[in-house]
């Protein structure tokens, strides 16, 4: 199979896994404080990542890799989870999912700034069009949002785009699962005290759904998804494969409907088809 095509398949698996992140976070923040949830998910994933690195006898990153790994940690391990958890205390997961449509553009911009990617002009046309479709869907829905929640989601998109681009730059040299694993381990001096300081007095009132949400974001959102995602970005190109995230809002909304009983409408389905068309166009002009 062609390397670029492999990248798109790996990226698609990553997007499918990430699509469950916001609904799972929404389930978890009902009973867990956002600060504790951010620290706990990163610690659990970090301990698992450390075990994988030790079992695989992986060499330590070079000195020049440390700053990019720290940026991945700040963006994907701490920044995005914390900002989205706070946002989800103000808005629903379906409303938050709309902002995920801007992630491809954020990732592509950082890929240009930090990685020197140079997609063709038509690529940017499809990217902006895809983001506009997602935004238009949000306006048509007219849901009662929250300015605080919206601003937090915008900030989350910015830091996550930086983390994705930095991780993709390191993946060809370190490997996809090694990049996120080292980032999780490097973040432990921050996330472990955070989880300990915000530890609940008791877990007696925590519902099974909240535990399930914590388990999902710890294992899949923080580790497994990134293994496929960074590999896909490295194989298919950061700016190109990142366009798959345009599908993520609609996949997430469908999961939110199943898990949180939120309504799926015809405008959502039609918008999803249009966005998929933008993804196909972006892929064609990505090189």
- State how far the Cα of 15 lies from the Cα of 242, in Å rounded to an integer: 9
CA distances from 55 to 50, 231, 270 (A): 9, 20, 46
- State how far the Cα of 32 lies from the Cα of 211, in Å rounded to an integer: 9
Model confidence pLDDT, tens digit, residues 262-278: 666 666 667 666 776 77
pLDDT tier for residue 16 given thresholds of 50, 70 and 90: very high
Look at residues 260, 228, 224, 221 and name the one whose alpha carbon lies nearest to residue 100. 221
Rg of the chain (C-alpha set): 18
| pTM as predicted | 0.83
Model confidence pLDDT, tens digit, residues 219-276: 999 999 988 988 888 888 876 787 787 788 778 878 877 877 766 666 666 766 677 6
Cα pseudo-dihedral 23, 25, 27, 28, rounded to 10: 170
Q: Domain span at residue 23?
A: 3-284
Q: How many domains does the chain have?
A: 1
């Amino acid at each position: 199979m062609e390397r670029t095509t492999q990248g798109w398949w790996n990226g698609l698996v990553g997007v499918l896994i990430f699509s469950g992140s916001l609904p799972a976070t929404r389930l978890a923040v009902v009973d867990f404080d956002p600060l504790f949830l951010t620290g706990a998910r990163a610690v659990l994933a970090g301990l698992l990542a450390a075990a994988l690195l030790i079992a695989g006898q992986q060499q330590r990153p070079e000195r020049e890799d440390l700053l990019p790994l720290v940026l991945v940690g700040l963006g994907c391990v701490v920044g995005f989870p914390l900002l989205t958890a706070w946002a989800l205390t103000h808005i629903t997961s379906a409303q938050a999912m709309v902002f995920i449509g801007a992630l491809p553009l954020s990732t592509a911009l950082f890929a240009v700034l930090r990685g020197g990617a140079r997609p063709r002009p038509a690529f940017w046309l499809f990217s902006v069009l895809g983001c506009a479709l997602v935004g238009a869907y949000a306006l048509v829905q007219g849901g009662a949002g929250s300015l605080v929640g919206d601003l937090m989601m915008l900030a989350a998109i910015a830091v996550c785009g930086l983390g994705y681009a930095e991780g993709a730059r390191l993946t060809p040299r370190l490997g996809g699962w090694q990049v996120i694993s080292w980032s999780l381990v490097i973040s432990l001096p921050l996330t472990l005290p955070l989880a300990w300081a915000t530890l609940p007095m008791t877990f007696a009132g925590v519902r099974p759904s909240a535990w399930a949400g914590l388990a999902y974001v710890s294992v899949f959102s923080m580790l497994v998804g990134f293994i496929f995602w960074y590999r896909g970005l490295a194989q298919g190109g950061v700016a190109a494969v990142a366009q798959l995230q345009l599908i993520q809002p609609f996949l997430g909304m469908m999961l939110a409907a199943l898990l949180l009983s939120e309504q799926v409408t015809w405008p959502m389905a039609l918008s999803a088809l249009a966005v998929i068309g933008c993804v196909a166009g972006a892929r064609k002009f990505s090189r």
